[in-house]
Amino acid sequence: MGMKELVLLFALAGAAGFVPQAIAARSADVTPVADVTFTLRTAIENGQLVFVGNAGAIKGQVNPELKVAEGAVVAITVVNGDGAMHDIAVPAFNAQSDQLVGEGSSTTIVFRAGKAGVFEYVCTIPGHKAAGMFGKLVVGDVADVVSTAVDVAKDPYQVGKPVGDRAAQHITYDLLTTEVEGQLSDGSTYRYWTFDNTVPGPLLRIRQNDTVTINLKNAEDSINIHSVDFHAVTGPGGGAAVTQVAPGQTKSFTFKALHPGLFVYHCATPMIAQHISNGMYGMILVEPEGGLPGVDREFYIMQGELYTAQKHGSSGLQEFSVEKLLDERPEHLMFNGSMNALTKTFDMQANVGETVRMFFGVGGPNLTSSFHLIGEVFDRVYNLASFTSPPLLDVQTTLVPPGGATMVEFKVDYPGRYLLVDHALSRAEKGLIGFLHVKGEADASIFDSSEKSDPASGH
């Protein structure tokens, strides 16, 4: 038995609660026995790095879901199928493989799945998780565990009705503040604080010079006082001074929308940064007189941060860490409330030739976003969401501060999957990524992939 097998055996024995005796003298007679085995190979499919089932019931499946019984000894073998460097890990069970270099090489991890739940297996080479190399390990019967959490992810299609060329009106919005356990990612949850049970809260859509009444109710089962501060409001605290609402109560105020633009709103109850980080942010769109020009597609997207005691990738209920918040060290970053919101939960789509408008804001509370769509150029950027300033033209990446917003517009000219990111790209490793799927005819004069290329070289 080699050193690698000894290390695996000791790890397995430790997980089971015992250490074998006289292993040095009898190592040739001792072999770890797995209750269940899986074989995966690495591959590049549809521009992504992935694991593919290589045998048995999971054969041919991309990033297959691996199901095992609680307490089972699990062996996962990975075969390098594309020649690039890879590895595999199951962080929840402290299982980490060697690195694979060269097509045909292989490695195996062996561990005991000692607790029920949904966990992640992943390639830990920097950038490979963001490129698609991760999947779920389901231990035991976890149906009841998964079903307890609310889906707080905001549908990016919920943009409200354009105001068009109408006269100013008196508009009333009812907002409800809630505290709910919501799905953060596959196998993990967080105690979110929300407006109307989603993160971000609803996009409120009005016209310049509308008179707006806000009725803010705090749910009866809330523990905390909540409030709302609209950056579009001219008045004390943007409304927060008069909407500190105890559980079960409602408070109201009325304002006139003096300025056009796209504005953030958020809870402003101390500690304000905690309330915002927990999910209490959204945006209000104040269209200019006559409304915004028509486009084919509109999407509502906000970037946020979570500060948890547990590291990114941990399973179960994640707990808030005030220390990490004060140090500005988020463990999780996301678009629209959860890790999966714009990659799995909701499918943003457009067709070749259509014009797309994105209402984008940063709830924060701390990080500035370098908003970027890989493979596209923004035709128009309304910098800092100002509608009275001329838009910037032909922009690759635009800065959006916490508590700020932008509106971008572009025509989609070529089919494919486009990645929405903060171009501080390390943040993609903590969940900050979304997809825009474009369908239609390919125009080889714009982009031609027919020539020979190395698919492992990236973009």
The parent domain of residue 130 ranges over 33-147
In a domain, 2, yes or no: no
pLDDT, position 127: 82
Alpha-carbon distances of 221 from 193, 249, 353, rounded to whole Å: 12, 11, 48
**Could you tell me if residue 12 is inside a domain?**
no
Contact present, 167 and 174 (Cβ < 8 Å): no
Buried b (16+ CB within 10 A) or exposed e, 232-266: bbeeebbbbebbbbebeeebebebebebbbbbbbb
28 part of a folded domain: no
Residue 221 and residue 138 in one domain = no
Q: Are residues 226 and 325 part of one domain?
A: yes
| Per-residue confidence (pLDDT) for residue 142, from 0 to 100 | 64
Does 37 map to a domain? yes
Mean pLDDT by 10 residues, the chain (459 residues): 41 39 35 84 89 92 94 95 94 93 94 90 88 90 62 97 96 98 91 98 98 98 97 96 97 98 98 98 97 97 97 88 97 96 96 98 98 98 97 98 98 97 94 96 92 48
Please check if 123 is assigned to a binding site: no
- pLDDT for 148 equals 66
Among the candidates 120, 147, 174, a domain finishes at 147
65 and 47 inside one domain: yes
- Give yes or no: residues 140 and 215 share one domain: no
Which residues are CB-neighbours of 139 under 8 A, at least 6 positions away? 68, 69, 70, 72, 113, 115, 116, 117, 118, 119
How many domains, in total, are found in the chain?
2
Domain CATH number, residue 225: 2.60.40.420
- Residues 185, 58, single domain; the answer is no
State pTM to two decimals: 0.78
Residue 226 labelled as part of a binding site: yes
In a domain? residue 3: no
Confidence at residue 19, expressed as pLDDT on a 0 to 100 scale: 36
- Looking at the structure, do residues 157 and 238 belong to the same domain, yes or no? yes
Question: Domain boundary at 89, 114, 147, which?
Answer: 147
Q: Is residue 354 part of a domain?
A: yes
Check the CA dihedral 231-236-241-242 and report its sign: negative
Residues 70, 195 within the same domain: no
Residues 6+ apart with CB under 8 A from 284: 203, 204, 205, 206, 230, 232, 262, 263, 265
Residue 332 annotated as binding site: no
Strands 48-53 and 36-45: antiparallel
Could you say which of 131, 147, 163 is where a domain stops? 147
Domain identity same for 363 and 314: yes
> How much is the pLDDT for 451?
59
Beta strands in 161-247, from DSSP E residues, in sequence order: 170-185, 188-195, 204-207, 211-218, 229-230
Whether 375 and 423 map to the same domain: the answer is yes
- Rounded Cα–Cα distance for residues 158 and 198 (Å): 11
The sign of the CA dihedral 54, 59, 65, 68 is: negative
105 part of a folded domain: yes
Query: Which pLDDT score is estimated for 298?
Result: 98
| Residues 278 and 200 both lie in one domain | yes
Q: Are residues 113 and 218 in the same domain?
A: no
User: Residue 295 is which amino acid?
Assistant: V
Is 26 contained in some domain? no
Same domain, 167 and 314: yes
Q: What is the pLDDT of residue 47?
A: 77
Gap between the Cα atoms of 114 and 127, Å rounded: 29
